């Protein structure tokens, strides 16, 4: 499967952003996540009248991918309805980190300005799955 380029990935994130359910914040967010096999899973933010239940677009995309059997990701595009590019929230950075640090992240606002970074850059010194290895496995004397 051909891996989509950034323009196509941003287009897919925008398409998903069009389906955002964001009556409370009025901020529409879209995400498009590429798997190592070249598939794309998109997502939008889904708000709830019980505000704390809100799901971010990035996590929607991850949950769709994982429930389809995909856990290896290469690129993520994020778009929002604001002019300037908005970076992913801390919760989403941690949620993404579960599946590796080498994710390339492209963020674009309505202005068309594009910022490219990586999860390793956006979440340095992360708490990660390996931190849950038993003491024996990590070689600790305790």
Binding flag, residue 62, ligand THU (CB under 6 A): no
Binding flag, residue 58, ligand THU (CB under 6 A): yes
CB of 69 to ligand THU, least distance (A): 24
Say whether 84 is catalytic.
no
Q: Which residues pair with 105 in a beta bridge?
A: 76, 117
Residues 74-113 that bind ligand THU (CB under 6 A): 88-89, 92
Cα separation, 70 vs 109, in Å, equals 27
Residues 9-28: x/- map of binding to ligand THU (CB under 6 A)? -------------x--x-x-
Of positions 13, 16, 57, 65, contacts ligand THU by CB under 6 A: 57
């Amino acid at each position: 499967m051909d891996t989509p380029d950034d323009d196509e990935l941003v287009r897919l994130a925008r398409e998903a952003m069009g389906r955002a359910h964001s009556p409370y914040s009025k901020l529409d967010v879209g995400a498009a996540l590429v798997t190592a096999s070249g598939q794309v899973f998109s997502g939008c933010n889904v708000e709830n009248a019980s505000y704390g239940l809100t799901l971010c677009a990035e996590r929607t995309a991850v949950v769709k991918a994982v429930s389809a059997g995909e856990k290896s990701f290469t690129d993520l595009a994020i778009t929002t309805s604001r002019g300037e590019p908005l970076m992913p929230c801390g919760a989403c950075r941690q949620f993404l980190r579960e599946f590796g640090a080498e994710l390339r992240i492209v963020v674009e606002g309505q202005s068309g300005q594009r910022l490219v970074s990586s999860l390793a850059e956006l979440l340095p010194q992360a708490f990660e799955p390996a931190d849950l290895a038993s003491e024996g496995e990590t070689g600790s004397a305790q």
